[in-house]
Structure 1
Amino acid sequence: MTARVLIVDDIPTNVRLLEARLTAEYFEVLTASSGAQALEICETAEIDIVLLDVMMPVMDGFEVCRRLKSNPKTHHVPVLMITALDQPSDRVKGLEAGADDFLTKPVDDTQLMARVKSLSRLKSLTDELRARAMTGQQIAIEDALRAMDTISASGGSVLIIDSDRRHAERVQSYLSEEHKVDILHEPADAVFQVTGTTYELVLVSMALGDFDPLRVASQVRTIDHSRNIPIILMADDGDKARVVRALDLGINDFISRPIERNELKARVRTQIRRHRYAMELRESVNHSIAMAVTDDLTGLYNRRYFDRHLNVLLGKAQSQDKNLAVMILDIDHFKSVNDTYGHDAGDVVLKEFSARMKRNIRGVDLACRFGGEEFVVLMPDTDVLNAELVAERVRQAIAEKSFDIKGQRPLTVTVSVGVSFNETLADTPESLIKRADLALYRAKREGRNRVILDAA
Structure 2
Amino acid sequence: MKAKILMIEDSPTQADKASGLLRDLGYEVVWAETGELGLKLAKESNPDLILLDVVMPGMDGYTVCRWLKLNQATKNIPIIMLTVKGEVENRVTGLEIGADDYLPKPFNPRELEARIFAALRTKAEQVELGEQNRELQELLHKVEFMAITDPLTGLYNKRRFYDVLKKEFLSSKRYNHSLSCLILDLDHFKEINDKYGHLAGDATLKEVGSILAKALREVDTISRFGGEEFVVLLPFTPKKDATLVAERIRKSISETNVKYEKQEIKVTTSIGVASIEDIQGGEMDALIQYADDALYQAKHNGRNRVEVFNLGMIDSPENND
User: Common fold, TM-score beyond 0.5?
Assistant: yes
Matched, 1:413 2:264: no
Q: How does 1:244-323 map to 2 (within 5 A)?
A: 244-246=96-98, 254-257=100-103, 258-260=112-114, 262-323=117-178
Distance in structure 2 (CA, Å) of the matches to 1:298 and 1:386:
26
Distance in structure 2 (CA, Å) of the matches to 1:389 and 1:452:
11
Distance in structure 2 (CA, Å) of the matches to 1:190 and 1:416:
66
SS of the aligned residue for 1:410 comes to strand
Distance in structure 1 (CA, Å) of the matches to 2:232 and 2:289:
14
SS of the aligned residue for 1:220 comes to coil
Distance in structure 1 (CA, Å) of the matches to 2:20 and 2:132:
29
Distance in structure 2 (CA, Å) of the matches to 1:299 and 1:293:
10
Report how many residues are paired: 279
Pick one of 180, 195, 203 that aligns with 1:325: 180
Letter in 1 for 2:300: R
Q: Percent identity?
A: 30
Alignment correspondent of 1:163: 8
Could you list the per-position Cα deviations for residues 32-65 of structure 1 after superposition, in whole angstroms to 9, with x for gaps in the alignment? xxxxxxxxxxxxxxxxxxxxxxxxxxxxxxxxxx
Q: Kindly tell me: are residues 279 and 445 of structure 1, through their superposed partners in 2, closer, same or farther at Cα, counting changes over 3 Å?
A: same
Pick one of 236, 243, 248 that aligns with 1:381: 236
Q: Which consecutive residues of structure 1, in runs of 5 or more, have no partner in the other structure?
A: 1-154, 247-252
Distance in structure 1 (CA, Å) of the matches to 2:19 and 2:158:
57
Q: Which consecutive residues of structure 2, in runs of 5 or more, have no partner in the other structure?
A: 10-14, 104-111, 312-321
Query: Structure 1-normalised TM-score?
Result: 0.55
Letter in 1 for 2:93: A
Contact 1:399 1:415 in 2 (8 A): yes
Contact 2:234 2:242 in 1 (8 A): yes
Could you list the per-position Cα deviations for residues 190-220 of structure 1 after superposition, in whole angstroms to 9, with x for gaps in the alignment? 68538xxxx7x85344437524313222212
Matched, 1:455 2:310: yes
Q: Kindly tell me: are residues 430 and 381 of structure 1, through their superposed partners in 2, closer, same or farther at Cα, counting changes over 3 Å?
A: same
Pick one of 245, 252, 257 that aligns with 1:390: 245
Q: How does 1:27-426 map to 2 (within 5 A)?
A: 160-164=5-9, 166=16, 167=18, 174=25, 183=30, 185=32, 186-189=37-40, 193=44, 202-207=48-53, 209=56, 210=59, 211-221=63-73, 230-236=76-82, 238-246=90-98, 254-257=100-103, 258-260=112-114, 262-407=117-262, 409-423=263-277, 426=281
Contact 1:187 1:216 in 2 (8 A): no
Distance in structure 2 (CA, Å) of the matches to 1:296 and 1:173:
57
Contact 2:50 2:78 in 1 (8 A): yes
Distance in structure 1 (CA, Å) of the matches to 2:269 and 2:200:
17
Query: Structure 2-normalised TM-score?
Result: 0.75
Q: How far apart are residue 295 of structure 1 and its match?
A: 1.9
SS of the aligned residue for 2:150 comes to coil
Letter in 1 for 2:273: V
SS of the aligned residue for 1:319 comes to helix
SS of the aligned residue for 2:264 comes to coil
Pick one of 301, 314, 320 that aligns with 1:446: 301
Q: Which has the higher contact order (CA 8 A, sep 6+)?
A: 2
Q: Kindly tell me: are residues 338 and 230 of structure 1, through their superposed partners in 2, closer, same or farther at Cα, counting changes over 3 Å?
A: farther
Distance in structure 1 (CA, Å) of the matches to 2:191 and 2:29:
63
Q: Kindly tell me: are residues 183 and 308 of structure 1, through their superposed partners in 2, closer, same or farther at Cα, counting changes over 3 Å?
A: farther
Distance in structure 2 (CA, Å) of the matches to 1:292 and 1:168:
55
Q: How far apart are residue 420 of structure 1 and its match?
A: 0.9
Taking only aligned residues, the RMSD between alpha carbons, in angstroms, comes to: 3.0
Q: Kindly tell me: are residues 280 and 446 of structure 1, through their superposed partners in 2, closer, same or farther at Cα, counting changes over 3 Å?
A: same
SS of the aligned residue for 1:328 comes to strand
Distance in structure 2 (CA, Å) of the matches to 1:329 and 1:184:
69
Could you list the per-position Cα deviations for residues 166-186 of structure 1 after superposition, in whole angstroms to 9, with x for gaps in the alignment? 55786577575xxxx785843
Q: Kindly tell me: are residues 215 and 451 of structure 1, through their superposed partners in 2, closer, same or farther at Cα, counting changes over 3 Å?
A: same
Q: How far apart are residue 416 of structure 1 and its match?
A: 0.9
Contact 1:191 1:220 in 2 (8 A): no
Q: How far apart are residue 405 of structure 1 and its match?
A: 0.4
Q: How far apart are residue 378 of structure 1 and its match?
A: 0.8
Distance in structure 2 (CA, Å) of the matches to 1:411 and 1:344:
12
Contact 1:230 1:271 in 2 (8 A): no
SS of the aligned residue for 1:417 comes to strand
Contact 1:190 1:216 in 2 (8 A): no
Could you list the per-position Cα deviations for residues 220-247 of structure 1 after superposition, in whole angstroms to 9, with x for gaps in the alignment? 25xxxx9xx844222346333342343x
